[in-house]
Amino acid sequence: MEKNIVVGVSGGIAAYKACDVVSKLKKQGFKIDVIMTKNAQEFVSPLTFQTLSNQTVVTDMFETPSDWNVEHIELAKKADVFVIVPATANIIGKIANGIADDMITTTIMATEAKKVIVPAMNTKMYHNPIVQENILKLKRHGYYFIEPVSGLLACGDTGKGKMEDPTVIVEELCLIANQTKEMAGCKVTVTAGATTEDIDPVRYLTNRSTGKMGYAIAEQAILKGATVVLISGKTNLKPPRGLSKFIEVRSAEEMYQEVKREFFDTDILIKAAAVADFTPKVFAKNKIKKQDENLVIDLKRTKDIAFEMGQLKKSNQVMVGFAAETESVLEHAVQKLKKKNLDFIVSNDLTKSGAGFGTDTNIVNFLFPDGEIEKYDLMQKKEVADRILEKAHTILQNRK
């Protein structure tokens, strides 16, 4: 279903950046309506926004409507998200104090949509105690804020007050617009990526995991409204926006310690990381030199994180594991399922095209302790993530 974002543009020099925000939102598939204050029109023409949004731009509370409706109420009703970008100290102050004297302030007062404020102003204005009190007041009333960043401002000052980059703003708005409350109040801890076991200062042992599956699970959990902690080994991926906590680790031991720390109040633990089973017994402080004879490196077992957490698991916690195999896939998955006290395990055959490391797709089976198996054909990893989360959340709800 197409979602509607109403963009309010107030009168600051950063108004020109709002053009880029509208353009990017349109490309993401949103329907856009734009409201401009009188001062905003001194910086950017309404025609610019009309061209970018393919919609008539509202500029005057008292202009003759094109069809018979109360325009600010109509816009308030159709909005899924109402964002003011840029938001000046003036418009933040008016909204915080219930003043509705133009189309932006009257419409935002009337809407039940998610409300987002993107401040942009001189750094001294931004840090003014009155402005900060107004911002805190709006946050208490459920307004989202995309905070300004530090940088060189139009007035020549340097400091916090510069409007966030339009790409970041659009990413945040996409998350806010699409986020549901399906898993609100549920803490989901996800492990992802590959661990790295150091041999010497130059060399290490690792595996082919790219972290795509784990990151997809974390991203979809955020969209479902969960509180999400992502514990990640080595990847080249950007952490999803909206994480409660992002913890980077290197070794299997570090991942074990972080998972254990988060596990006590976790509702759902999803172990999607590819954790090394072995690590060198001894770390060589200096680079191991090439020799004529073969090199032997003694290895020791790492902690089996899923097994350890399975021993600690309470009746009101759900644990999901992964079994990436190249042979006897179901048999190995069943063994892991039982040994690690999992609620279900996601198995995949790494030899199949479109499944496994480095792809955006996967082919999986869900195996349950009662012997039930759910088989899924080729799907995007985000779709697989959705199925995992839906199943895990259902199990959790049935235990409450």
Indicate if 112 and 248 belong to the same structural domain.
no
- Note the pLDDT of residue 160: 95
Indicate if 127 and 38 belong to the same structural domain.
yes
Indicate if 280 and 307 belong to the same structural domain.
yes
246-256 mean pLDDT: 98
SS (H, E, C) 162-174: ECCCHHHHHHHHH
CATH of the domain at 166: 3.40.50.1950
- Note the pLDDT of residue 9: 98
Taking only the tens place, the pLDDT of each residue in 194-224 is: 999 999 999 999 999 999 999 999 999 999 9
Taking only the tens place, the pLDDT of each residue in 147-201 is: 999 998 888 888 999 999 999 999 999 999 999 999 999 999 999 999 999 999 9
312-341 mean pLDDT: 94
Which residue numbers belong to the known binding site for CTP?
A: 277, 287, 322, 336, 340
Indicate if 265 and 343 belong to the same structural domain.
yes
- Choosing from 138, 156, 178, the residue where a domain stops is 178
When pLDDT is cut at 50, 70 and 90, the band that residue 65 belongs to is low
319: its two tokens:
């644990």
Q: Residue 257: CB partners within 8 Å, gap ≥ 6?
A: none
Catalytic residue check, 155: yes
Q: How many domains does the chain have?
A: 2
75-104 mean pLDDT: 96
Indicate if 146 and 282 belong to the same structural domain.
no
Burial class (CB in 10 A: 0-12, 13-18, 19+), 129: exposed
- H or E segment at 223? helix 212-223
Cα 306 from Cα 277, distance rounded (Å): 12
- Note the pLDDT of residue 68: 46
pLDDT at 297 over 90: yes
Whole-model pTM over 0.75: yes
303-323 mean pLDDT: 96
Cα 52 from Cα 45, distance rounded (Å): 12
Residue type, 120: A
Taking only the tens place, the pLDDT of each residue in 345-382 is: 999 998 888 887 889 999 999 999 999 999 999 999 99
When pLDDT is cut at 50, 70 and 90, the band that residue 293 belongs to is confident
Indicate if 85 and 155 belong to the same structural domain.
yes
- Note the pLDDT of residue 358: 85
Indicate if 166 and 258 belong to the same structural domain.
no
- 250-275: b (≥16 Cβ within 10 Å) or e: ebbbbbbbbbeebbeebbbbbbbbbb
- Choosing from 178, 213, 228, the residue where a domain stops is 178
Catalytic residue chosen out of the listed positions 19, 155, 174, 186: 155
Which residue numbers belong to the known binding site?
A: 277, 287, 322, 336, 340
| DSSP reduced 3-state for 354 | coil
- Note the pLDDT of residue 361: 94
- Choosing from 148, 178, 208, the residue where a domain stops is 178
> Crossing angle of helices 166-178/212-223, nearest 10°?
70
Domain range for 226 is 187-398
22-28 mean pLDDT: 96
Indicate if 153 and 29 belong to the same structural domain.
yes
Indicate if 120 and 215 belong to the same structural domain.
no
Q: Write the CA distances from 79 to 3, 138, 288, 316, integer angstroms.
A: 8, 19, 63, 38
CATH of the domain at 372: 3.40.50.10300
Give me the chain's average pLDDT, please: 94
Indicate if 207 and 294 belong to the same structural domain.
yes
Laid out side by side, the sheet with 114-119 consists of: 31-36, 4-9, 81-87, 114-119, 144-145
- Note the pLDDT of residue 399: 84
SS (H, E, C) 283-338: CCCCCCCCCCCCCCCCEEECCCHHHHHHHHCCCCCEEEEEEEECCCHHHHHHHHHH
Percent of the chain with pLDDT over 90: 88
- 201-238: b (≥16 Cβ within 10 Å) or e: eeebbbbebbbbbbbbbbbbbbbbbbbbbbbbbbbeee
Indicate if 157 and 209 belong to the same structural domain.
no
| DSSP reduced 3-state for 355 | coil
- Note the pLDDT of residue 66: 53
Indicate if 284 and 168 belong to the same structural domain.
no
pLDDT at 95 over 60: yes
Cα 24 from Cα 38, distance rounded (Å): 24
Q: Is the bond into 65 cis (omega within 30 degrees of 0)?
A: no
Percent of the chain with pLDDT over 70: 97
Taking only the tens place, the pLDDT of each residue in 101-129 is: 999 999 999 999 999 999 999 999 999 99
Burial class (CB in 10 A: 0-12, 13-18, 19+), 353: exposed
Q: What angle do CA 108, 136, 262 make, to 5 degrees?
A: 110
- Note the pLDDT of residue 400: 72
